[in-house]
Amino acid sequence: MSTIYSIMDAILPFECFRLSFMKNALLALLLLTPLLALLGTMAVNRRMAFFSDALGHSALAGVGLGLLLGVQSDLISMIVFGVVWAIMISRINRTGGASADTIISVFSSTGIAVGLLILSRNGSFAKYSSLLAGDVLSVQPSDLLWLLIALPLGIAAWALLYNQLLLTAVNPALAQSRRVNTKWIEYAFASLLAVAVMLSIKWVGVLLINALLILPAAAARNISRTARQHAIYSVLIGLFSGVAGLIAAYLLDTGVGAAVVLCAAICYAVTLPLRTRVK
């Protein structure tokens, strides 16, 4: 890490990045935002914005159930529960018993209620309240290693699933005629999205993860003509929002997650008038 820190000292003009925790936060955002931005493009195209919100809320339930079962790692319990939760939502949604937004709302409410019920016993929720807003400034070098592994694996999985996901979103009947197993493709993407959300919760927070996932992709869609442009612009907007939000949070002495999301929201507002011109 010392070599990376030395390079950052040499190329970064901002005084705030002389601090090691700011370097760690910057590296974490550079690893997190591209993955979330790419997954966000498909979530936007498939109208799954509220789906990712339900996954974020389920993080509290994952931590709570992990605590009851004696799981030592909060991250493992969140990922396992998040994947199960995502597949359950997708499976019930496919049955068509109720509208998608109703199903997602039920799971979202249930997930956060279960988490709060377990974690607030004996007034102990204060220990877990940081999960609500996240704290990217608490990133440690060991965390960066896991993010460094997750980024290429996540991008590879997204690339592998992309064409089939896009086809199932645009024309499910055509996808089935080409022998695309739409059910398992949906389950695979839901699981991938769950893993990415749970990896990010600790630093972005339950309340903000959905916004960070959706806003860069939504802003990119305003100025994109092709799927390739959508992916590229989403990553660029995500990276810009992460870096700009981190610097703004340092200067204004405020929460990093909120600042990053606000930067992404500004990008969406700026690109929104361009939507009609591009289309």
Residue 6 burial class via C-beta count within 10 angstroms: exposed 0-12, middle 13-18, buried 19 and up? exposed
CA nearest 159: which of 24, 34, 245, 38? 38
pLDDT tens figures, 130-180: 777 777 888 888 888 888 888 899 889 888 888 888 787 777 777 777 777
By three-state DSSP, how is residue 23 classified?
helix
Query: Which pLDDT score, from 0 to 100, does residue 126 have?
Result: 72
Angle (deg, nearest 10), helices 2-11 and 20-45: 80
Token pair listed for 207 = 């309340």
Query: Which pLDDT score, from 0 to 100, does residue 276 have?
Result: 56
pTM here? 0.85
Residue with tokens 């090691």: 20
By three-state DSSP, how is residue 217 classified?
helix
Q: Comparing 186 with 100, which gets the higher pLDDT?
A: 186
CA nearest 230: which of 97, 41, 81, 53? 41
Q: Are 203 and 252 contacting, i.e. CB atoms less than 8 angstroms apart?
A: no
Residue with tokens 């901002």: 14
Q: Comparing 121 with 156, which gets the higher pLDDT?
A: 156
Q: How far apart are CA 210 and CA 233, in angstroms?
A: 18
Q: How far apart are CA 120 and CA 124, in angstroms?
A: 5
Query: Which pLDDT score, from 0 to 100, does residue 263 have?
Result: 94
Q: Which residue blocks in 96-140 are alpha helix, DSSP H?
A: 100-119, 130-133
Query: Which pLDDT score, from 0 to 100, does residue 73 have?
Result: 81
pLDDT tens figures, 187-240: 888 898 888 888 888 888 887 888 888 999 999 999 998 888 999 999 999 999
Q: How far apart are CA 65 and CA 77, in angstroms?
A: 8
Cβ neighbours for 123, distance < 8 A, ≥ 6 positions apart: none
> Is the pLDDT confidence value at 18 over 60?
yes
Long-range contacts of 138-143 (CB under 8 A, 24+ apart): 138/21, 138/202, 138/203, 139/21, 139/24, 139/25, 139/27, 139/28, 139/203, 140/24, 141/1, 141/24, 143/24, 143/28
Cβ neighbours for 255, distance < 8 A, ≥ 6 positions apart: 133, 249
